[in-house]
Structure 1
């Protein structure tokens, strides 16, 4: 929480102006907390709309979330709004999905993951005798990691190992399993490959093979299986809209179509930022845009935290090939979230992380929000968001997009029994080139930095510029890491650090 004396100090300094670069979740979070502390906050967004990766695409009666579609860890969103005297329900209606999601292993081998925990235990037991008890044990461990991670670890700025000299963390270090492989951890509890895949799938989006991801991240399983999968009616754009309203109520000013093109640094301070429209004075900067882009394009070499070689060695989370499809008929067999794991998970993961290439037989994910929300598609139509994880830094051509569209459609149409390709009245794709063009995304990544052991906590790119005193970073390339809830927390942590600096300069 922001300290009251911090807020009071800045409230008495009318000249304190802060620039926030980027209006994704981390930028909006940082802007709101800075404005609450009395800063005059200006947010600079390169695109025409607020929201970063959570912008919405609207056309022909459809409203598509362009990026995030999984609403996990609802308390993080709630805590944000509570900090400003609101509730999430002041801005959008939240619905728990049941089933939370569906996993397709084959045409007749489908798991619907129920919201009710007793039903989930029964499902596990029907697949592998004794696994209901194992699931309970697994999630008890995961619950400890979740509580420790969300209450302690994710709020630490990662500036020093001394931050972790906390008795509760030290006492629970063994139980956090930071040095244990996620893959080995899961296999201690389950033998059936479908259950193993079910438990491993969340880490596919954390940016590493399950065997290279710390078992700490079983906290994701707790979030998904115990806390539930939710949906904000109207899509994630409603969450962005709510956060923007919070910012504006605090006095934040937004500048769209205003990419930051330069910093003027004097001594060890950013004094002004430049856009194509103007040069503006500032007392501090939160860079929630792509970290690599800010370092390489906006800062002279002498002011960068990291050189080009450092970035070349980073392990990035995946890019994605995404299709936004409007379908003129209903698709009964699809649920709100459907994961197609009717292919080899290990092979696809290897072709993302170990041997980068367009996948031989890809896994993919389909979001059909029109199952839960009649506002996102015309009556009787379906809204489909299809995502295929892809190696970062990979070639992206229209021919490849078309090839993989047909490959995915062959399997999707076979599963659903619906000739989707002949029933389209909206069809747009999005891939690595678009991530680079719209977000200056390093290697066209979609999810930020991989959560490997060597890129955890203080081993991530620093949230603080080490050479410029009033420049801090936020977002998925710094602490705490990729994902919407971590990004919201990242914005808050970076704002608190800048406020501390402004108080003591």
Structure 2
């Protein structure tokens, strides 16, 4: 039986482990943290349960497919809850726009906010649908192991059709004229840790996911996805070891032969899958002489995505005027992104709040469980931040109070996560949430391959590699890599 070691128990690692074990491989997965699921981490403060992230779930069929491929019913593991009216957006002057999968609800609002948008919204949905289906067919389920994989005529043709040279903001201006609505839809760039003013219009396909396919929650918390994938992998025969850190990938010549754990124990393998932020993991696991295609210099010159400043606030009452998702926008969105990618902390940040207890009281029976997030710049090269977390936290509470959201008098429990915490907890390069940003065209479409160019049996899954960041894409990357390994041993 061929032995595969998976380094990192995030969603990509779990999907790879489940698929490989189902296909007869001897799989061992090592995760340094006490939980499995990566950034999809459970946090409990008193009776308040939080999903650290992600909170907005789309493409449920991607997660379900891992179970279907193993002959399992995903509903035996977790239950989807569809949220039709899913995100309340609030502009700097108090304007409101409720995002919904019901087109009539959307167009009714557009008629009063932006008549031009109301007229063009159906065409917008058709175009983002086209972008999504073309990307899904041509990119999502394709594994890139060398440059020759990019030279397929069909792939090149598809690339030309997904608006790679147009910015997201420019694309949205075709359909929306109201500045607030442009903010609302441009926010999709943050789902890939980038700026809408430079990232490709291709990623506007996210609108199709949220406004047509739908936004979902998992009963009991989205962490149930990770728990379900871990249970499936174990049922298929994978050995998952949490609280176990890999310190080095062992190599002989141009092949990986196993790993060394932080305890000093060495484990042999025929193939190794690295599920994690390659920019952070590779320098710590492989000597530079063994990774010329991902050298220290190349890593230092990379463009990391944005990070996050997160407050988990457990309240003594339920704020029922806060729905499951809401966003409070800054007055100058362009300035906010200039600051973020210039290494500055915005004075007027856009604030996202998830209140999952609105949908599911069981996760926080005694009061709202508010996951409050503002985008933050990645850490400086020296690993430091330019703000005092306590001061910045108070600044966020003060901003929310101006929107009529009073939190501090009802605060029972509180925990803050900074980019430094994200870097340490998840081994995220400079605290970036999505690895590489998509602000540079090559980082949007030419991410690191799914197989090392230096070590022939070392494979990569996760947000740093193809097909990119976001929980569905990470799951797909794990499946893609698993299929590539299965094919390699069958040939």
TM-score, structure 1 as length reference: 0.92
1:315-354 aligned at under 5 Å gives the runs: 315-353=303-341
Residue 252 of structure 1 corresponds to which residue in structure 2?
A: 238
Q: Is the 8 A contact 1:333 1:416 kept in 2?
A: no
Residue 447 of structure 2 corresponds to which residue in structure 1?
A: 460
1:19-41 deviations in Å (ceiling 9; x for gaps): 00011110001111111121010
Q: In structure 2, how many angstroms separate the alpha carbons of the residues matched to 1:41 and 1:293?
A: 24
Call closer, same or farther: CA 1:176–1:303 in 2, change over 3 Å: same
Larger deviation: 494-503 or 268-277? Answer: 494-503
Query: Which of 186, 189, 204 is residue 172 of structure 2 equivalent to?
Result: 186
Residue 22 of structure 2 corresponds to which residue in structure 1?
A: 36
Call closer, same or farther: CA 1:397–1:145 in 2, change over 3 Å: closer
1:12-411 aligned at under 5 Å gives the runs: 14=1, 16-106=2-92, 108-160=94-146, 162-164=148-150, 169-277=155-263, 278-304=265-291, 305-353=293-341, 355-379=342-366, 381-394=367-380, 400-411=388-399
1:438-462 deviations in Å (ceiling 9; x for gaps): 12211111222112311133x2112
- Residue 192 of structure 2 aligns to a residue whose secondary structure is coil
Question: How much does 1:107 deviate?
Answer: 6.2
1:257-276 deviations in Å (ceiling 9; x for gaps): 11101222112222121113
1:238-282 deviations in Å (ceiling 9; x for gaps): 011111111011101111111101222112222121113421111
Is 1:501 matched with 2:481? no
1:474-485 aligned at under 5 Å gives the runs: 474-485=461-472
1:56-93 deviations in Å (ceiling 9; x for gaps): 01131111111210111222122222212233322222
- Residue 202 of structure 1 aligns to a residue whose secondary structure is helix
Q: In structure 2, how many angstroms separate the alpha carbons of the residues matched to 1:224 and 1:98?
A: 9
Q: Is the 8 A contact 2:220 2:362 kept in 1?
A: yes
Call closer, same or farther: CA 1:284–1:364 in 2, change over 3 Å: same
1:337-368 deviations in Å (ceiling 9; x for gaps): 01111432111111111x21111211111111
1:420-473 deviations in Å (ceiling 9; x for gaps): 21221110011111112112211111222112311133x211221112121111
RMSD of aligned alpha carbons: 1.9
Q: Is the 8 A contact 1:327 1:383 kept in 2?
A: yes
Q: In structure 1, how many angstroms separate the alpha carbons of the residues matched to 2:437 and 2:118?
A: 31
Call closer, same or farther: CA 1:156–1:124 in 2, change over 3 Å: same
Q: Is the 8 A contact 2:276 2:463 kept in 1?
A: no
1:110-162 deviations in Å (ceiling 9; x for gaps): 21223312211222222111322311112211111101112221112233455
Q: In structure 1, how many angstroms separate the alpha carbons of the residues matched to 2:385 and 2:153?
A: 52
The count of residues paired between Structure 1 and Structure 2 equals 486
Unaligned runs of 5+ in 2: none
Q: In structure 2, how many angstroms separate the alpha carbons of the residues matched to 1:416 and 1:186?
A: 30
1:202-223 deviations in Å (ceiling 9; x for gaps): 1123233212111111111111
Q: In structure 2, how many angstroms separate the alpha carbons of the residues matched to 1:486 and 1:423?
A: 37
Q: In structure 1, how many angstroms separate the alpha carbons of the residues matched to 2:458 and 2:150?
A: 24
Q: In structure 2, how many angstroms separate the alpha carbons of the residues matched to 1:250 and 1:225?
A: 35
Residue 417 of structure 2 corresponds to which residue in structure 1?
A: 430
Larger deviation: 306-315 or 107-116? Answer: 107-116
Is 1:442 matched with 2:429? yes
Q: In structure 2, how many angstroms separate the alpha carbons of the residues matched to 1:405 and 1:474?
A: 34
Question: How much does 1:167 deviate?
Answer: 5.9
Larger deviation: 159-168 or 420-429? Answer: 159-168
- Residue 363 of structure 2 aligns to a residue whose secondary structure is coil
